[in-house]
Each structure stands twice: as structure tokens, then as C-alpha cells.
Amino acid sequence: MNSPADNPLDRVLVLEMVRVTEAAAVAASRLIGRGDEKAADAAAVEAMRKAFDTLYMDGTVVIGEGERDEAPMLFIGEKVGGAQGKGPKIDIALDPLEGTTITAKAGPNALAVLAAAEEGCLLNAPDVYMDKLAVGPGYPEGIIDLAKSPTENVKAVAAAKGVEPGDIIVCVLDRPRHSDLIAELRDLGCGVVLIGDGDVAGVIAVTDEDTTIDMYMGQGGAPEGVLAAAALRCVGGQFNGRLVFRNDDEKARAAKWGIDDLDRIYTRDELVKGDCIFAATGVTSGSLLEGVKYLRDGRMTTESVVMRASSGTVRWIKGEHRAK
Ligand SMILES: O=P(O)(O)OC[C@H]1O[C@](O)(COP(=O)(O)O)[C@@H](O)[C@@H]1O
Ligand SMILES: [Mn+2]
């Protein structure tokens, strides 16, 4: 076990991270199904920002709501935590409302989510797309490789699992940009689980046999890629990510954060190093968590998960809250 002196995360109450995601989820939950993505996001951001102040840490947002001039709160570089200059230095990746459209439409799998690690341990991913490939725990290291085709990756996983390629179930974001990928998977006979949004939950689904999902493939947000990699670092499973740059402005963003090899394929442990914490609270119910529920007596319930890489501990936390 690490002593507090070794590991700054020990000095932040790991469980306290859940209060931050709970606060964001509860705030966003009032906007579930109200058709207003922006209002839902703003509510989650404000609540998360406030909740951070209750934590004893000197935190810095490294993945957040955008660049300083784009986001009023929780922008990249913003200091969070109630112990600036004296508490442990922690880097934070966050998505106060992962699934703004899901929330607006009352769909499944919207989450309030964050990852925390020692300073310098999270890839400062710019807000661009990322090609993602993931598989759950229990496979030989290197079984998936983003440099190879979807067909090759499915065949490798199927062989290791002892099944036919057509038995493999792959989760993919339902987007026109994935039409070739989906056609290739269907040609192999794979089951393709199409999700409307929310690839943090989509990637994490590969770690849970109950979902029946074997693999995750396709392009989504790079920030969400780092968050999902943090979760897999805690519970196991492999992840490959490659940043996708659509124009010079996006390339300039990468340069700003010191990323010079634009074609690099990052493994899970290159995206997230050292010890880390992953915390999430469900906003709407889905494969990972139950959403916020309002009881008749005016109380509400939440479900959260908090995990830690160094110990591999996964804690599921149900909360009951008085509606304000
Ligand atoms: O909708 P796009 O542009 O395909 O982007 C995909 C990304 O958007 C999401 O579906 C939703 O993210 P937000 O709600 O945080 O915007 C992510 O899960 C995913 O990585
Ligand atoms: Mn998101």
C-alpha cells in the first residue's frame, strides 16, 4: 500500500470524488427530457465546479469543457479544489455531462464523469476526435491493434475467445462516418450494437460481460477517450486511441499541448499513467449505472461508481438526497 507521502491521490479522499459527479448528475437530472442540451450541460458544469471546492486538493483541469476562451467554467488549465497552493497537486479530466443530447431526449447512458491522476499522468488531449478500439479484460496483451483493420482485430479477438468472428459483438456510435466500418463488421457476421451517443459508457461496456459487448470501435471525442482509458486502467481491458485532425486549427491545438506525432497510436497506459481514480454518476439509466430518480416523497436517488487503478477497487455507491 502506498503511504500518503508517495501518492498525492491518497491525500484526496477518493470517495469524495463521487460527491463531485453526484452534484453534476443531480443538477443535470432536472433537465432530463426537457429538450435543452445547453441548459443541461450548464447545470452540470456549474454544480461540478462548486463541488470541487469542497475537496482538499490543488487540482488542475487538463481535460474539460474546452479552451479558456470557449468555456466560462471548467476550462482547460482552470484550477479546481479548495486547497490551492497547499493541497496535493492533482490533474483532472472531466465531462460534467457526457451525453448532453441523451439527457435532452431522456435516452440511456448519460453520465457525469471525471478521472483524477497525479500531475502529468493524463494525456492533455485536445478537443478533437479520436479513433478508438477497446476490448475487455482477460485477453493477451496486444490482442487489439488500431494499425490493423477492423476485420483483423475481430478475428484476433474471436480466435482468443474461441468463437467465430460472427459471434463477436461490437459497439459503435451510430454516425454516417461509420458506415464503412459497420458494413465491414456486418460482412463478418458480427452483432453491431449502435449507440446514439455516450461512448464513455460504450467503451466501458466491454468490461462488463452482462452487456454481451466484446469490442468497441469507431471515432468519438478524444476527451471521452482519455476518460474511458482511465476506467479501463482501473478495471482491466485494453484500449487503443489515435487522435483525428480534420484541419489546421485542430493540429494547432495539438501542438499547443505538446503533441507532435499526430499519427501516434496510444495504448491505455500511454493515455493514463501512474495511479488514477475514475468516478461517474448516472444521469439517465444505462449499462453502467442507474440514473437519478425522483421519489414521491421529494427525495432522489443516485448511483455512482468510483474505481482506483493502484488497488483495483471498484465501489458502487447508492445515494439518497433531499431535493432542495
Ligand atoms: O456526436 P459526435 O460529434 O459524433 O461526437 C461523439 C462524442 O459525443 C458524445 O456522444 C456525447 O458527448 P457530449 O454529450 O459530452 O457532447 C460522446 O460520447 C462522443 O465521444
Ligand atoms: Mn462528452
Model confidence over 143-182: pLDDT tens digits?
999 999 999 999 999 999 999 999 999 999 999 999 999 9
Model confidence over 25-55: pLDDT tens digits?
999 999 999 999 999 999 999 999 999 999 9
* Number of structural domains the chain divides into: 2
Ligand 1 centroid vs 263 CA: distance in angstroms? 22
CA distance 225 to 203: 8
Longest dimension (CA), the chain: 57
Share of the chain above pLDDT 70, in %: 97
Ligand 2 centroid vs 279 CA: distance in angstroms? 14
Per-residue confidence (pLDDT) for residue 78, from 0 to 100: 96
Closest C-alpha among 292, 285, 284, 288 to residue 320:
292
Hey, which of 101, 197, 250, 283 would you mutate to test ligand 1's pocket, going by the most ligand atoms within 8 Å of its Cβ? 197
- The C-alpha cell of 95 is what? 465531462
Is 36 in the same domain as 114?
A: yes
pLDDT surpasses 70 at 218: yes
pLDDT surpasses 70 at 5: no
Is 115 in the same domain as 242?
A: no
Q: What share of the chain is helix, strand, coil (3-state, %, to 5)?
A: 35, 30, 40
Mean pLDDT of the chain: 95
- The C-alpha cell of 263 is what? 499519427
Hey, which of 37, 102, 173, 178 would you mutate to test ligand 1's pocket, going by the most ligand atoms within 8 Å of its Cβ? 173
From 252, 271, 290, give the residue that closes a domain: 271
Cβ atoms of residues 207 and 250 within 8 Å:
no
Can you tell me whether residue 113 is helix, strand or coil? strand
Cβ atoms of residues 128 and 245 within 8 Å:
yes
Cβ atoms of residues 239 and 133 within 8 Å:
yes
In a domain, 2, yes or no: no
In a domain, 27, yes or no: yes
Write the residue with the smallest CA distance to atom 14 of ligand 1: 99
Question: Is residue 10 very low, low, confident or very high in pLDDT (cuts 50, 70, 90)?
Answer: confident
CATH number of residue 237's parent domain: 3.40.190.90
Identify the nearest ligand to the CA of 128 by its number.
1
Closest C-alpha among 305, 323, 61, 85 to residue 207:
305
Is 184 in the same domain as 294?
A: no
Is 315 in the same domain as 256?
A: no
In a domain, 137, yes or no: yes
Per-residue confidence (pLDDT) for residue 23, from 0 to 100: 97
Is 191 in the same domain as 102?
A: no
Is 300 in the same domain as 186?
A: no
**In this structure, which amino acid lies at residue 109?**
N
Is 114 in the same domain as 20?
A: yes
Map grid coordinates 468519438 to a residue: 220
Map grid coordinates 479558456 to a residue: 68
- Those residues whose C-beta lies under 8 Å from the C-beta of residue 187, and which sit 6 or more positions away, are none
* Secondary structure element (H or E) that encloses residue 37, with its range: helix 37-52
Cβ atoms of residues 77 and 68 within 8 Å:
yes
Closest C-alpha among 126, 127, 132, 163 to residue 145:
132
| Residue 144 belongs to domain spanning | 129-271
Per-residue confidence (pLDDT) for residue 1, from 0 to 100: 47
From 229, 254, 271, give the residue that closes a domain: 271
